[in-house]
């Protein structure tokens, strides 16, 4: 086993994953630096979701290694990975996946409540985050009354509320219209930058990938290249955003 480079938060080597024999990942290696926003881009079926799920410990790769700081995810058992997900990772999926019977703020506060935070503190943190994400008016509504983009904002708040060191966003704006999606994504990246949250952002859209610091490309489960985005264009308005969110 090779020890991972020191400055990488997350590090993966030669990941192979083939559920039921169909190869989803074929030898992907990747390093994510602390505080960066890394886009994983590629068309549908290129293995983005599988890669993010392997890196976040929701799937165990058939072959290869995943390191988070100095812990090896690929050797952990289910309970340990669950604990790591609860304490260190955030996840935003394509669908908001909110709990239907909880209101907006309860959904956003769920990770805090799961950690045993007091009701009052969890509520004020959730309301705070919903306000920052322009979803303050959704706080007391159930998800079935809300628009898709409002639900997705709540999902973003739920992922950010614990200020996880590492946030996985799997095509978070794929189901939204362009304007809504852009706004959700900008608030997400701005919040991540101001809180030094490392983000792995899977996307099929080059414009979305351009919001990141760097993009790696996947095709058919293989890594085909990398695009660095210079700070001026890619991380547009980095400092101004960090002040506002």
Partner 1 sequence: MLALRLARGAHPVVLARRLLVTAASAATGFLLLCALAYALVRPGGEAPAARLAWCLLPVAATVHLALAVARTDPGTRPRPGLSAIGLGPAKLALFAAATTALAALTGSLLALAVFLHLRGDLSGMPFDGAAAELTAAGRPLPLPAALTLLAVVPLAATATVALALRPRREPPATEKDPDAARPAPAEPPAGLPWGVTLVALGLAAETYAAGGAALPGGLGSGRGAVLAGWVIASVGLAVAGPGLTHLSGRLLQIGRPGAARLLAGRALMAEARRIGRPLGVAAAVAAVTLGGTVLFRQEAFRPFGDLTALGATLVVLCAVATLLTAAVESRQERAPTTGTLTDLGAPAALLRTTAALRAGVLLAVFLPLTWLVARLAALPLGS
Residues of this chain that interact with partner 1 (CB under 8 A) are 58, 79, 82-87, 89, 91, 93, 95-102, 106, 110-111, 113-114, 116, 118-120, 142-144, 151, 158
Q: 14 vs 114, which CB is nearer to partner 1?
A: 114
Rounded to the nearest whole angstrom, what is the least distance from the CB of residue 2 to partner 1 in the complex? 28
Rounded to the nearest whole angstrom, what is the least distance from the CB of residue 82 to partner 1 in the complex? 5
> 7-40 as b/e, with b when 16 or more CB fall inside 10 Å?
ebbbbbbebbbeeeeebbbbebebbbeeebbbbb
3-state secondary structure 68-98: ECCEEHHHCCHHHHHHHHHHHEEEECCCCCC
For 113, counting Cβ atoms within 10 Å of its Cβ (0-12 exposed, 13-18 middle, 19+ buried), the class is middle
Q: 11 vs 91, which CB is nearer to partner 1?
A: 91
Rounded to the nearest whole angstrom, what is the least distance from the CB of residue 88 to partner 1 in the complex? 9
Q: 118 vs 231, which CB is nearer to partner 1?
A: 118
Q: 47 vs 93, which CB is nearer to partner 1?
A: 93
φ and ψ of 149, to 5 deg: -70, -30
CB 160 within 8 A of CB 90: yes
Rounded to the nearest whole angstrom, what is the least distance from the CB of residue 114 to partner 1 in the complex? 5
Instruction: Give the SS3 label for residue 130.
Output: helix
Q: 177 vs 226, which CB is nearer to partner 1?
A: 177
Rounded to the nearest whole angstrom, what is the least distance from the CB of residue 235 to partner 1 in the complex? 29
């Amino acid at each position: 086993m090779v020890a991972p480079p020191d400055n990488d938060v997350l590090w993966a080597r030669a990941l192979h994953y083939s559920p039921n024999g169909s190869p989803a990942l074929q030898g992907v290696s990747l390093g994510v630096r602390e505080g960066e926003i890394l886009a994983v881009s590629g068309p549908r079926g290129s293995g983005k979701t599988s890669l993010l799920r392997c890196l976040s410990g929701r799937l165990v790769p058939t072959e290869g290694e995943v390191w988070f700081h100095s812990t090896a995810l690929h050797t952990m058992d289910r309970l340990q990975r669950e604990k790591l997900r609860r304490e260190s990772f955030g996840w935003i999926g394509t669908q908001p996946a909110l709990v239907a019977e909880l209101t907006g703020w309860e959904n956003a506060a769920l990770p805090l409540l799961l950690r045993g935070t007091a009701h009052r503190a969890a509520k004020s943190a959730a309301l705070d985050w919903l306000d920052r994400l322009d979803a303050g008016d959704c706080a007391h509504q159930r998800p079935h009354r809300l628009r898709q983009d409002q639900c997705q904002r709540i999902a973003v708040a739920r992922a950010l509320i614990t200020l996880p060191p590492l946030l996985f966003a799997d095509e978070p704006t794929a189901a939204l219209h362009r304007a809504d999606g852009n706004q959700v994504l900008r608030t997400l990246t701005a919040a991540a930058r101001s809180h030094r949250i490392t983000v792995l952002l899977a996307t099929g859209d080059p414009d979305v990938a351009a919001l990141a610091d760097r993009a790696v490309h996947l095709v058919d489960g293989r890594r085909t290249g990398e695009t660095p985005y210079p700070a001026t264009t890619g991380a547009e308005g980095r400092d101004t955003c960090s002040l506002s969110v």
